[in-house]
Amino acid sequence: MALTESIKSSVATNTQDKPFLQINNLIKEFGDNRVVKNVSVNINKGEIFALLGSSGCGKSTLLRMLAGFETPTSGEILLDGKNIINDAPYHRPINMMFQSYALFPHLTVWDNIAFGLRREGMAKDEIADRVEKMLALVQLDSFGKRKPHQLSGGQQQRVALARSLAKRPQLLLLDEPLAALDKKLRERTQLELVNIIEQVGVTCVMVTHDQEEAMAMASRIAVMSDGVILQIGKPNDVYETPNCRFVADFIGSVNMFNGAVEVDEPDHVVIRTPECTHYVGHGITGTPGMAVSVAIRPEKISVSADKPAQEHNYVYGEVIELAYLGSYTVYHLKLLSGMIIKANVSNTSRHGAFHPKWGDKLFAHWEDDAMVVLTR
């Protein structure tokens, strides 16, 4: 895992002179409906880039425009410097792994993988060699003669991956790669998938609505909503430093306090909300009186029965809901103002003494650096 992390981060920071894939001002309209609204993204060679968003946000349309199945209304797509916007899908050095796998039912696994190579006019023995290599890559060495309906879901997915990598494309597109798998299989496949892609070294753009999947697999994420990209960054950055309420809310859970800036200093700000006073340990670009939101992740909040020593950054409430999830417990506290906050508390000891129950009154508190101040 650590090795993958280091590879991912090195790739992410290794921005070259010219990004490998440049999407410039891409717009897509279906009649009166503008689905992709002036999107511009730069993707680097060799990175795994995720387009994250809920259904209808335009991410699939964007992916299909990269593949060539939709024609943009305007804009350009530069792959390695060349504008491919007018190229048909069969002329682009791009291959896609479909959500439904789209394996050809009338062909064997071997023929499925060889399909694209045959269209290229590759020599027979070269094709055989490449197909064998692909089967080995996805660990389906002896499955060549089978037909798709004779494979399990996970095996079908691996064939689909092998098929999309067989032609050594410059860009690999993944459309909701893990959506069709059940949870256990999904976790295992996430890692396998990343390993294979990095082993091959291909630039990859994936589309997903599952933020855990995006965070686990991608080196950079773009959060999309309603046809617009809201934020691009490494998973860590997007999670800990969301740039707007939507992103903060979309990724993981978040507690959102709404209030106004009271004190604005270069090294700290004090924000007053109906629930409490927030002392934020860094400066923000803003003015006193400005309306802002303070976002705090549930895992940054600690709970206690006794009042904490600090002056700011704590609230008092009643446990109205608690969910024991094994590795941690989620407490829903109803505050005096009526707001309900969530706190995730790790179960660090097997039989700890502190076990709040429904109806208990607790204090919830957090550190100076746990908050993100959002202005939009």
Partner 1 sequence: MKKFSKPAWLSGKTAVIGIPYLWLAVCSLVPFLLVLKISFGEMDASGPFGTLTSYVDGVLSLKIKLTNYIYLAMDDLYIIAYLNSIRYAALTTLMCLLIGYPFAYFMARASQSRRNVLMMLVMLPFWTSFLLRIYAWKGMLSNNGVINNFLMSVGAIDAPIHMMNTEFSLMIGMVYSYLPFMILPLFTNLSKLDVRFIEAAADLGSTPWSTFWRVTVPLSKSGIIAGSMLVFIPCVGEFVIPDLLGGPSTIMIGHVMWDEFFSNVDWPMASTVTVVVILGVLIPMGILNKYQSEEEQKL
Partner 2 sequence: MNAYRWFGRSWLAMGYFFLYIPIIMLVVYSFNSSSQDMVWRGFTLHWYEALTGDDEIIAGFFLSLKVATLAATCSVVLGTFTAYVLTNYRRFKGRALFKGMASAPLVMPEVIIGLSLLLMLVGMENAVGFPPRGLMTLVFGHTVLGVAYSAVVIESRLKEISKSLSEAAMDLGCKPFQVFFLVTLPNISQALVSAWLLTFTLSLDDVVVSAFLTGPGYSTMPIVIFSRARLGLDPRVNTVAAITIAVVSVAVVLSSLHMARTERRRQKEISAAFKH
Residues in the site for partner 2, rule: CB under 8 A?
67-69, 88-90, 94-96, 98-100, 102, 104-106, 115-116, 119-120, 147, 149-152, 155, 163-164, 167
Residue 73 partner contact from partner 2, partner 1, none using kind-dependent CB cut-offs of 5 to 8 Å: partner 1
Residue type, 162: A
The CA distances from residue 196 to 46, 91, 189, in Å, are: 12, 25, 10
Q: Is 72 in the site for partner 1 (CB under 8 A)?
A: yes
Residue 72 partner contact from partner 2, partner 1, none using kind-dependent CB cut-offs of 5 to 8 Å: partner 1
CA–CA separation, 108 and 90 (whole Å): 22
Binding test (CB under 8 A) with partner 1, winner from 13, 14, 74, 304: 74
Nearer to partner 2, 146 or 334 (CB): 146
Q: How many residues bind partner 1 (CB under 8 A)?
A: 10
Exposure on the CB side of residue 11, measured as CA atoms within 13 A: 23
Question: Cβ distance 288 to 262 under 8 Å?
Answer: yes
- Give me the sign of the Cα torsion angle 140, 146, 148, 151: negative
Nearer to partner 1, 92 or 186 (CB): 92
Nearer to partner 1, 66 or 372 (CB): 66
Residue 100 CB neighbours (<10 A): 11
Q: In three state form, how does the secondary structure of 102-160 look?
A: CCCCCCCHHHHHHHHHHHHCCCHHHHHHHHHHHHHHCCCHHHCCCCHHHCCHHHHHHHH
CB of 25 to partner 1, least distance (A): 7
CB of 344 to partner 2, least distance (A): 37
Residue type, 221: I
Binding test (CB under 8 A) with partner 1, winner from 7, 27, 137, 180: 27
Residue 337 partner contact from partner 1, partner 2, none using kind-dependent CB cut-offs of 5 to 8 Å: none
Residue 207 partner contact from partner 1, partner 2, none using kind-dependent CB cut-offs of 5 to 8 Å: none
Binding test (CB under 8 A) with partner 1, winner from 42, 73, 241, 375: 73
Nearer to partner 1, 86 or 304 (CB): 86
CB of 30 to partner 1, least distance (A): 14
CB of 71 to partner 1, least distance (A): 6
CB of 97 to partner 2, least distance (A): 9
Q: Is 31 in the site for partner 1 (CB under 8 A)?
A: no
288, two tokens: 């006193």
Q: Within the chain, how many helices (H) and strands (E) appear?
A: 9, 20
Residue 40 partner contact from partner 1, partner 2, none using kind-dependent CB cut-offs of 5 to 8 Å: none
Nearer to partner 1, 2 or 88 (CB): 88
Strands in 21-30's sheet, in edge-to-edge order, are: 33-43, 21-30, 74-79, 82-83
Neighbouring-strand partners of residue 323? 330
Contacts for 208 with CB less than 8 Å, ≥ 6 apart: 50, 51, 52, 176, 177, 178, 179, 214
Residues that bind partner 1 (CB under 8 A): 25, 27, 71-75, 85-86, 88
